[in-house]
Structure 1
Amino acid sequence: MACAQTGSGKIAALLLPILSQIYTEGPGEALKVVKENGRYGRHKQYPISLVLAPTRELAVQIYEEARKFSYQSRVHPCVVYGGADIGQQIRDLERGCRLLVATPGCLVDMMERGKIGLDFCKYLVLDEADRMLDMGFEPQMRRIVEQDTMPPKGVHHTMMFSATFPKEIQMLTREFLDEYIFLAVGRVGSTSENITQKVVWVEESDKRSFLLDLLNATGKDSLTLVFVETKKGTDSLENFLYLEGYACTSIHGDWSQRDREEALHQFRSGKSPILVVTAVAARAKREVPSWLENMAYEHHYKGSSRGRSKSRFSGGFGARDYGQSSGSSNSGFSSNHGSSSCSGGGAHGSNRGFGGGGYGGFYNSDGFG
């Protein structure tokens, strides 16, 4: 069980030892079963290593790193997630899969289709386990680990990575891991040293002018993430910034996976240096200070500051936001849980809270890329 701050190298730490073991030990019994099944027209794959990630974007990021680390080797990483071409994902699997990266819902879907078996899985990684719990993936996680053909504890190695260590994660750790070692890098749950945060009280009517002041202060070419509460607010703010002369794009739950990836590409390349997005995976908080802390640390910098240089975070906070966050247990962000299966759309919720349809957070990074 490892808790480490964002940007501390968790992806490399989980992938490199696994790949080293696969290189040393080879596919073993799994390859024999795959070849035997192939004689009868069945193309079920038995990965040796499985990495679970809460979101499609994180799954793709881990997969891309795995491709780099396994370059010119016989290990063929694969990734499965919702919103993409399921036929292409199945074809990729059928070419052989020793290391699989997946979102929980899509993995369960592939297992039900008979495309993936976990009978010979030796290494299980739960990345950002706290986010998976927040997003409601515990039933899928339990099914994958405890109810299907996954070898029992002690036969396979389970590794959990998390930036926080709440009670729910502690309980899950005791159930999933056998005589585990707890490793902490930095201060558990603390903010990154590379991010400066600032919370500003802004009247509802002044939010957009305040945002323009922030953008002008950093320059139009500086890569910037702007978080809003609703999908409608995302489209509205993107249109507003476009009319103000800013090159921007946006992402929300109604977008297809192809459109999401294209928007991210435009953002990373600097073609559209401002990205307006709805926040993902809210955690309700009653008290304003702890709610703000979780908003800033868990939802904004954690998913956006991996391996970046000195960055800044600002938040516009108004009277309506205060009333909703302090008086309701449902304060938070719009929640997009991602696809519950490979072919379906996301499960969407709407928890009223920070932003109120205007912009809800501001993240600027001089080194995002």
Structure 2
Amino acid sequence: AFCFPIISGIMRDQRLNERPRGSRTVYPLAVILSPTRELACQIHDEAKKFSYQTGVKVVVAYGGTPINLQLKELERGVDILVATPGRLNDLLERARVSMQMIKFLALDEADRMLDMGFEPQIRKIVEQMDMPPRGVRQTMLFSATFPREIQRLAADFLSNYIFLAVGRVGSSTDLITQRIEYVHDTDKRSHLMDLLHAQRDTQDKQSLTLVFVETKRGADSLENWLCMNEFPATSIHGDRTQQEREVALRSFKSGRTPILVATDVAARGLDIPHVAHVVNFDLPNDIDDYVHRIGRTGRAGKSGVATAFFNDNNASLARPLAELMQEANQEVPEWLTRYASRASFGGGKKRSGGRFGGRD
């Protein structure tokens, strides 16, 4: 959504050849911030495709890997810098990157960046590092949900902005068939095995299945258990090195290991095509996280299935879950409706889209 207009704008910009040359500091014309290394790499790869033979140079910078290689890449020139907030702050403090000539600023998965505690770093980049003010630069902010924190960020960073919503903000799509099943914690593994057996085709081929768990230890444990039971699986979580995560994602996307066990590191932003089934082995505590997770399937006009294992530990999620399913024209189990009613009677928290929650 933002790569094409940024590349087009840079190609028309007279300053493309007017920036300082020969110094250790580089002056990109556009910066794209993303919350995770994986998403930054994905955006970089797409921007490289779109800028092929245009002369526009795209560079990616993220933490978790040695900075020296990224510095060498920057020294070759950069027009569009895709970065995570932490690594960009590091580059700015080293005076290896300057924000003085920024024409375009894109914040992708803004709600995720705030969830991960990046707001102080983002504000420092935008407000304290010589970036041209709003109105001089063009700012684009993308977010699947719009809580008050995101609304404040939009008000502070964007000038006379236009808000566009596809469907209802924070809602799901009817391309995803949602199934909520009551499963005790002790029965989750056997229940998952039944699901995986059921979705194998006549050639015993497994559809791409993304299984979400809450903890890193849980991801490792479930991956090992699946492999022991002859279900090819891999996993990604925050303790994996960048190389390990990239290898796991490639293996999953290719179908070599068609089951990916993940914590929320994979929940937002990553474009993993052809995911047929998302399983919330452990439900998250927040309905927005649930929306992000199931949004890994039902993409690009294709249908998908999302199954969630619910039990008494998830009672606080019953009401927003039932409301979400109703909005997406899904069948809500009677037992979930009863849970939701009890939560409502007890003053349970209702879903709120804020002033951005309407339909456009």
Q: TM over 0.5: same fold?
A: yes
Looking at structure 2, the residues matched to 272 and 147 of structure 1 have their Cα atoms a distance apart, in angstroms, of 45
SS at match of 2:20: helix
Contact 1:45 1:97 in 2 (8 A): yes
SS of alignment partner, residue 142 of structure 2:
strand
Q: Is the contact between residue 135 and residue 281 of structure 1 (CA under 8 Å) also seen in structure 2?
A: no
Among 13, 38, 56, the alignment partner of 1:25 is 13
What TM-score results when the alignment is normalised by the length of structure 1?
0.76
Q: Distance in 2 between matches of 1:204 and 1:291?
A: 16
2:246 to 256, 261, 270: 261
Letter in 2 for 1:222: S
Q: Which one of the candidate residues 305, 315, 322 is aligned to 2:308?
A: 315
The residue type paired with residue 270 of structure 1 is G
**Partner residue, 1:248:** 233
Structure 2 residue ranges without an equivalent (≥5): 268-282, 319-360
Pick aligned residue for 2:62 from 81, 88, 93: 81
Equivalent residue, structure 2, for 1:358:
none
Between the aligned partners of 2:52 and 2:13, the Cα distance in structure 1 is 18
The answer for the alignment partner of 1:236 in structure 2 is 221
CA contact (8 A) 1:131 1:281 kept: no
**2:291 is the counterpart of 1:297:** yes
Q: What does 1:1-369 align with in structure 2 at a 5 Å threshold?
A: 13-28=1-16, 31-35=17-21, 38=22, 42-219=23-200, 220-280=205-265, 291=285, 293-298=287-292, 300-302=293-295, 306-307=299-300, 309-322=302-315
1:234 and 1:278 in contact (8 A); partners too: yes
Cα deviation, residue 320, structure 1: 3.7
Q: Secondary structure at the match of 2:2?
A: helix
Residue type of the alignment partner of 1:19 = I
Counterpart Cα distance in 2 of 1:132 and 1:295? 13
Aligned match of 1:352: none
Q: Secondary structure at the match of 1:162?
A: coil
Letter in 2 for 1:311: G
Contact 1:75 1:98 in 2 (8 A): yes
2 CA distance for matches of 1:211 and 1:159? 40
Q: Distance in 2 between matches of 1:235 and 1:76?
A: 39
CA distance in 1, matches of 2:51, 2:289: 36
SS at match of 1:116: coil
- Which residue identity is paired with 2:159? D
Residues 138/18 of structure 1: CA separation in 2 closer, same or farther (3 Å cut): same
Q: Distance in 2 between matches of 1:273 and 1:95?
A: 38
Q: For the structure 1 residues 308 and 227, does the alpha-carbon distance in structure 2 shift closer, same or farther, using more than 3 Å as the test?
A: farther
| Residues 52 and 305 of structure 1, relative CA distance in 2, 3 Å threshold | farther
Q: Secondary structure at the match of 1:114?
A: coil
Q: Deviations over 1:163-219 (max 9, x none)?
A: 222222111111111111222222222212321111111012111000001111111
| SS of equivalent to 2:68 | helix
Deviation of the 1:126 alpha carbon: 0.9
Instruction: Please tell me whether the aligned partners of residues 196 and 206 of structure 2 are also in contact (alpha carbons under 8 angstroms).
Output: no
AA paired with 2:126? V
Separation of aligned partners in 2, 1:193 and 1:19: 33
Distance 1:318 1:192 in 2: 24
Q: Secondary structure of the residue that 2:165 maps to in structure 1?
A: strand
Structure 2 SS opposite 1:150: coil
SS of the residue corresponding to residue 34 of structure 1 reads coil
Bigger strand fraction: 1
- Identify the residue that residue 4 of structure 1 maps to in structure 2: none
Cα distance in 1 between the residues matched to 2:284 and 2:194: 27
Instruction: Indicate the SS of the match to 1:45.
Output: coil
Structure 1 runs, 4 residues or longer, greater than 4 Å off:
289-292, 303-306
Residue 279 of structure 1, CA deviation:
2.0
Distance 1:186 1:75, change over 3 A: same
Q: Which has the higher contact order (CA 8 A, sep 6+)?
A: 1
- Matched letter for residue 20 of structure 2: V
Residue 366 of structure 1 corresponds to none
Residue type of the partner of 1:65? E
Q: Is the 8 A contact 2:172 2:291 kept in 1?
A: yes
Letter in 2 for 1:265: R
More off after superposition, 177-186 vs 200-209: 177-186
Aligned residues: 299
Displacement, 1:67?
0.6
Aligned to 1:351: none
**Greater mean deviation of Cα atoms: 131-140 or 19-28:** 19-28
What residue is the counterpart of 2:337 in the other structure? Answer: none
**Greater shift in the superposed pair: 19-28 or 59-68:** 19-28
